[in-house]
Amino acid sequence: MAIYLIAMIVLFLFNVMAYQDKKLQILLYRVSLVVLFFLTAFRWEVGCDFMTYEAYGSDVAPGLSLEEAMTRGEPGYWTLAVLLDEGKFGWEWIDVFTAISFYAGLHSMARREANPLLFLTLAFPALIIGLAMSAVRQALAMGFVCYAFNAFADKNRVRYIVCILIAGLFHKSALALLGLAPFLFPGSIQVKIVIGVLAAAPMAYVMSRSEAAETYTSMYVNSGIEAGGGRFRVIPVGITGAIFMLWLRKKWQETYPRDYERMLFFAPLLVATVPLVFISSVMGDRFGYYLMPLAFSIQTRAYMLLRPQYAFMAFLAPLVHCLVYMGVWIFLSSLFWQCYVPYKTWWFST
């Protein structure tokens, strides 16, 4: 428990210390990024899905050929698992490669922010601990989703589509983000919406009639399964999207024209995660994870868009939220104690 709370407090203090010091922000960001990478990559028996992936790596992957791995669901993950097995790597190395993908993508977004340290800090409780240190396949996908978000800001439709397709090889849920691809093509917003609906309708119909749709519906909508803390993670994402649409949009367009359209098109999706998480906390939580980096980008820049007298309070607000979220999660969630405590690393455990 102590290592997570200490890490959150240290990151909080780092941000306060470097509030107006850009050079110090960059230095502390780089140090924090390296430390968090090792915390994530070399963990041992840490994460709610650790035992599941241990079974995949030690029992399932050794019995698969490379051809079989490529035809399974999430073929990217299974191909990686088989290649690691054939290369005589220990199965725990899947976490190292997952961390490389996840942090490379996260860094690709953070380095575009004026304050990358704040961006990384906001990602620590929910995205780094909750996703990267537990859900291996979705964390692998998240790295490519982050690159896709950059491609969207750059209006590079080919790179966006390719990155989302690669992410889908590791976790199928990432393919839902393909629905935003039409907004990268020329035309008015109204035309883009029509094209998006027309493009998505056949795929949605086919998927709704498939066996997979029945499986996911039974798992996520009608199963009674709840994502522990899902609503507490997703609601701030929705609130952030609403704040952008209601108060920050015009100022953002003036200050950050390069990625204004990205935020304009994705902000409604951030808001839509709130009703979705009440329909199915698992589905809302799963999709909310993908949109968190965009929410962090809004939170990271918000204080720079406000009048000076409000800037520091807007800077502190998301940091205080993260600190409170971390404290509540640690002290009130039995699931946290089951999944993340004590922290161990396989450098000393194997």
pLDDT digit string (tens) for 52-80? Answer: 999 999 999 999 999 999 999 899 999 99
Res 88: pLDDT: 87
Q: Which two tokens stand for residue 200?
A: 């998505």
Contact 237, 271 (CB under 8 A): no
Q: Which two tokens stand for residue 206?
A: 């086919």
The half-sphere exposure of 31 on its side-chain side, counting CA atoms within 13 A, is 11
Residue 238 pLDDT greater than 90, yes or no: yes
In angstroms, the CA 116 to CA 118 distance is 5
pLDDT digit string (tens) for 76-129? Answer: 999 999 999 999 898 899 999 999 999 999 999 999 999 999 999 999 999 999
Residue entry with tokens 């050079």: 23
Q: H helices within 154-209, ranges in order?
A: 157-170, 189-208
Q: Compute the mean pLDDT over every residue in the chain, rounded to the nearest whole number.
A: 89
- Note the pTM of the prediction, 2 decimals: 0.92
**DSSP character for 173?**
G
Residue 47 pLDDT greater than 50, yes or no: yes
Residue 204 pLDDT greater than 90, yes or no: no
Mean pLDDT of the region 253-280: 92
Residue 310 pLDDT greater than 50, yes or no: yes
Q: Angle, to 10 degrees, between the axis of helix 281-305 and the axis of helix 308-332?
A: 150
Q: Alpha carbon 234 to chain centroid distance?
A: 12
Burial (CB count within 10 angstroms: exposed 0-12, middle 13-18, buried 19+), residue 292: buried
Burial (CB count within 10 angstroms: exposed 0-12, middle 13-18, buried 19+), residue 99: buried
Model confidence at 197, pLDDT cuts 50, 70, 90, reads low
Model confidence at 232, pLDDT cuts 50, 70, 90, reads confident
**SS in 3 state form for 216-234?**
HHHHHCCCCCCCCCHHHHH
Dihedral over Cα of 254, 256, 262, 263: its sign:
negative
In angstroms, the CA 103 to CA 131 distance is 12
Q: Which two tokens stand for residue 132?
A: 């990267």
Q: Which two tokens stand for residue 307?
A: 């009048």
Conformational region of residue 47, where left means phi above 0, alpha means psi within -120 to 50, and beta covers everything else: left
Contact 153, 179 (CB under 8 A): no
Mean pLDDT of the region 228-232: 76
In angstroms, the CA 152 to CA 228 distance is 31
Q: How is the chain split into domains, by residue range?
A: 22-183+227-349
